[in-house]
Amino acid sequence: MFKTTVGPGSSRAGYLRPETAQGIFMDFNWISRYFRGRMPFGVVQIGKAYRNEISPRQALLRLREFHQMEAEVFFDPQNKTWPRYDRLRDKNLKLLTREAQLLAPTEQNPIRMTMGDAVANGIIANEALGYFVALTAEFLETAGLPENVLRFRQHGLQEKAHYATDTWDAEFLSTRFDWVEIVGIADRTDFDLRAHERVSGQKLRQMRFFKEPQAVEVDRFIPVRAQLGPRFKDKAAAIGDAISKMDVPDSIPRDLEVEIDGRVFSVPKDCVRVERRMERKEGDWYVPHVIEPSFGVDRIIYALLECNAEFPGPEIEMVSMASGQKMQVVGPEPVKIRLPQSVAPIKAGVFPLMNRDGLDMFAKEVDARLRAAGITTYYDDAGAIGRRYARMDEIGTPWCVTVDYDSLEKKDVTVRERDTTKQERVAIDRLVDRFHDKS
């Protein structure tokens, strides 16, 4: 989809993938074996995707090279349920249906209902799709997007890919760019697997087993060796074997196409005959359907930053009531990003109050302890404590730990919380537990 050239000064063409998903379909048979043929199963992938956007713009929203997290979840088309459906059945959703989008813009209101009701009323096509819509809502809210800036918009009949039965986009309301799609969740049916089957000649199927194997009548091609031998010489045996494994179509064409070692042979009808046999059948083969939640990582990160950043207020001048003289300029408040601790890249800033008298050694020990417990820290001994807090607030670090002179004696530290700026003393032996409790 995105053509480029490989290597400097080269004219060799290369093509970049527009989504991460296709490799999963190509590996379908390996993956199916890994899951021992049991349905449903899912595969996730994170990686780069490329699109030849005519005008990349709007910060992280329209890039030519971006990151996707995609899942392909495979189902038997006769059973689009999900084992843990009940966990999310009562999740509240805001749904902008395709019917609502036909109304005048001011009338286009989303409906609020639980995922279970949306599925029961046929608004979302099936249980499995409903589950992944609700899971997406839960994920985005946990990552730090408030519920009031999120909605799910159903694709209209024109917009929906021709193969998809139902598609919902998670959208977030940007203060700068209005509603922006951040995740697409589509029931892609069997479109991708069938397309890969067609081009590769490989069967990408799954068996729906009968309770008991059945005896069934089937038609089979029987190679007529006397015809094949003179025509195809040393290839005759291989062609005969390949033909006997082929399915017999309802109407047999004049020539059958057989591929041997990458070469395609046309085999005339009179080289085969059809015989009806009784065979033992274990089940029916089918092409699985797939539900694809496709997450745009860069857009989600943009949304998290926009929704959680507090920007500096204006400078406020304080004027003395008595003298009318300017007293002080307050602010501006520094930037603060209120990321939930689960997505904050750094969990704790660690500061020695002074860079001497053993405070630094002690603070480094505290830092090492937190890191050993898997808590990502940032050690900072430069400048006034207020500035160090501000630096951490600005990148969304939820906690700061300060080591002072009392710490040396009492073996405790001050923990300051970003959002409340509340401070409390915590014994260093309890510090790791305290962070784990809070997360």
Interface residues with ligand AMP (CB under 6 A) are 19, 51, 53, 61-63, 66, 68, 181-184, 294, 296, 298-299
Q: Which is nearer to ligand AMP, 52 or 92 (CB)?
A: 52
Minimum distance of ligand AMP from residue 53's CB (angstroms): 5
Burial class (CB in 10 A: 0-12, 13-18, 19+), 207: middle
Q: Which is nearer to ligand AMP, 68 or 174 (CB)?
A: 68
Token pair belonging to 284: 């029916």
Q: Which is nearer to ligand AMP, 184 or 352 (CB)?
A: 184
Minimum distance of ligand AMP from residue 201's CB (angstroms): 27
Minimum distance of ligand AMP from residue 83's CB (angstroms): 26
Q: Which is nearer to ligand AMP, 306 or 412 (CB)?
A: 306
Angle at 301 (CA atoms; ends 110, 94), nearest 5 degrees? 10
Angle at 100 (CA atoms; ends 96, 106), nearest 5 degrees? 95
Helix (H) or strand (E) holding 408: helix 405-410
SS3 77: coil
Q: Which is nearer to ligand AMP, 32 or 68 (CB)?
A: 68
Minimum distance of ligand AMP from residue 169's CB (angstroms): 6
What is the C-alpha separation between 196 and 189, in angstroms, rounded? 14
CB atoms under 10 Å from CB of 92, counted, come to 12
Minimum distance of ligand AMP from residue 85's CB (angstroms): 24
Given a contact cutoff of 8 angstroms between Cβ atoms, the answer to whether 93 and 133 are in contact is yes
Q: Which is nearer to ligand AMP, 63 or 267 (CB)?
A: 63
Q: Which is nearer to ligand AMP, 51 or 231 (CB)?
A: 51
Minimum distance of ligand AMP from residue 58's CB (angstroms): 9
Q: Which is nearer to ligand AMP, 68 or 206 (CB)?
A: 68
Given a contact cutoff of 8 angstroms between Cβ atoms, the answer to whether 339 and 398 are in contact is yes
Minimum distance of ligand AMP from residue 51's CB (angstroms): 5
Given a contact cutoff of 8 angstroms between Cβ atoms, the answer to whether 227 and 286 are in contact is no
Q: Which is nearer to ligand AMP, 60 or 113 (CB)?
A: 60
What is the C-alpha separation between 299 and 373, in angstroms, rounded? 31
What is the C-alpha separation between 181 and 155, in angstroms, rounded? 11
What is the C-alpha separation between 296 and 292, in angstroms, rounded? 13
Given a contact cutoff of 8 angstroms between Cβ atoms, the answer to whether 349 and 388 are in contact is yes
Query: Taking each helix axis from N to C terminus, what angle separates 225-232 and 236-245, rounded to the nearest 10 degrees?
Result: 130
Minimum distance of ligand AMP from residue 299's CB (angstroms): 4
Token pair belonging to 394: 């600005």
Minimum distance of ligand AMP from residue 157's CB (angstroms): 17
Compute the residue count for the chain: 439
Point out the residue whose Cβ comes nearest to ligand AMP. Answer: 296
Q: Which is nearer to ligand AMP, 21 or 272 (CB)?
A: 21
Number of helices (H), then strands (E), belonging to the chain: the values are: 13, 23
Minimum distance of ligand AMP from residue 203's CB (angstroms): 27
What is the C-alpha separation between 161 and 167, in angstroms, rounded? 9
What is the C-alpha separation between 93 and 90, in angstroms, rounded? 9
